[in-house]
């Protein structure tokens, strides 16, 4: 499993991914799942991947090759929609190709991708790409996508996301969502890769890698734990003991 989140906000896009890949419980490896391609004058794409590693690596390779070639399709795309179509096509081709070679069904080779970025002249866009190559785009109603082990980290995103949160606060939100997942599931693991993209800059804003002992991550995680315990105690309480006493009468 993996855990990746892409978020669209008023100020741009934010991405975070873990780096753990596992085949069974005793075969853990570390692989990057956040990739960026850019041409400084007019386009920047970021990709997050979850699912079969051979599939996602093959897709990333294809994008790499295209982006470097003289006849690059990705350089000629006029919108992020066209980029998503290109990536979706590569993904479904790889899933199909791998499953035709094997004895298993397609599901083994499936992967999901989150694609975000901006081409100069249009707005930043964020897409969720399915193994079949089709995709959906983030809107104000559904402003973030998660792939991989999505459930543990979802409640806080659902509750606390607001479109006008600063990137600083969005970054905290991502950390809390990942921390909740890391605390509950062994198949999601450190380090975490992140990238923050500010609208119309056409370049990676802030990017980096957080380790388990990163002082900022530890600070946020501890402050969140303490804060949640505090918050719980301050919630309105039912006077259970009184009801019990009533029942005893």
**Residues forming the site for a copy of itself (CB under 8 A):** 151-156, 158-160, 162, 167-169, 171-173, 176, 180-181, 183-184, 196, 198, 205-206, 216, 219-220, 223-225, 227-229, 231-241, 243-244, 247
Shortest distance, CB of residue 107 to a copy of itself, whole angstroms? 17
Shortest distance, CB of residue 193 to a copy of itself, whole angstroms? 15
Residue 137 near residue 122, CB atoms below 8 Å: no
Question: How far, in Å, CA of 170 to CA of 176, rounded?
Answer: 10
Shortest distance, CB of residue 131 to a copy of itself, whole angstroms? 21
State the CB neighbour count (10 A cutoff) for residue 82: 14
Nearer to a copy of itself, 70 or 234 (CB): 234
Nearer to a copy of itself, 42 or 243 (CB): 243
Shortest distance, CB of residue 161 to a copy of itself, whole angstroms? 10
Mode of pairing for the β-strands spanning 12-17 and 192-198:
antiparallel
Nearer to a copy of itself, 103 or 238 (CB): 238
Nearer to a copy of itself, 103 or 158 (CB): 158
Question: How far, in Å, CA of 49 to CA of 17, rounded?
Answer: 8
Shortest distance, CB of residue 6 to a copy of itself, whole angstroms? 17
């Amino acid at each position: 499993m993996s855990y990746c989140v892409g978020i669209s906000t008023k100020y741009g896009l934010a991405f975070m991914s873990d780096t753990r890949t596992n085949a069974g419980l005793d075969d853990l490896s570390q692989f990057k799942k956040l990739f960026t391609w850019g041409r400084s004058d007019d386009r920047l794409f970021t990709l997050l991947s979850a699912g079969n590693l051979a599939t996602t690596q093959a897709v990333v390779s294809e994008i790499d090759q295209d982006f470097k070639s003289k006849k690059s399709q990705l350089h000629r795309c006029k919108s992020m929609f066209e980029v998503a179509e290109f990536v979706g096509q590569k993904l479904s081709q790889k899933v199909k190709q791998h499953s035709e070679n094997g004895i298993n069904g397609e599901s083994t080779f499936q992967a999901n991708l989150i694609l975000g970025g901006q081409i100069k002249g249009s707005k930043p866009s964020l897409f969720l790409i399915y193994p079949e190559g089709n995709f959906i785009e983030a809107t104000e109603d559904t402003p973030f996508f998660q792939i991989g082990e999505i459930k543990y980290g979802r409640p806080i995103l659902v509750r606390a996301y607001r479109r006008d949160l600063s990137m600083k606060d969005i970054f905290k939100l991502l950390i809390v969502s990942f921390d909740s997942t890391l605390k509950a599931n062994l198949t999601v693991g450190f380090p975490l890769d992140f990238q923050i993209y500010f609208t119309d800059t056409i370049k990676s804003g802030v990017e980096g890698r957080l380790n388990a002992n990163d002082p900022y991550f530890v600070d946020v995680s501890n402050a969140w734990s303490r804060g949640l315990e505090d918050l719980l105690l301050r919630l309105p309480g039912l006077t259970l003991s009184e009801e019990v006493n009533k029942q005893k009468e």
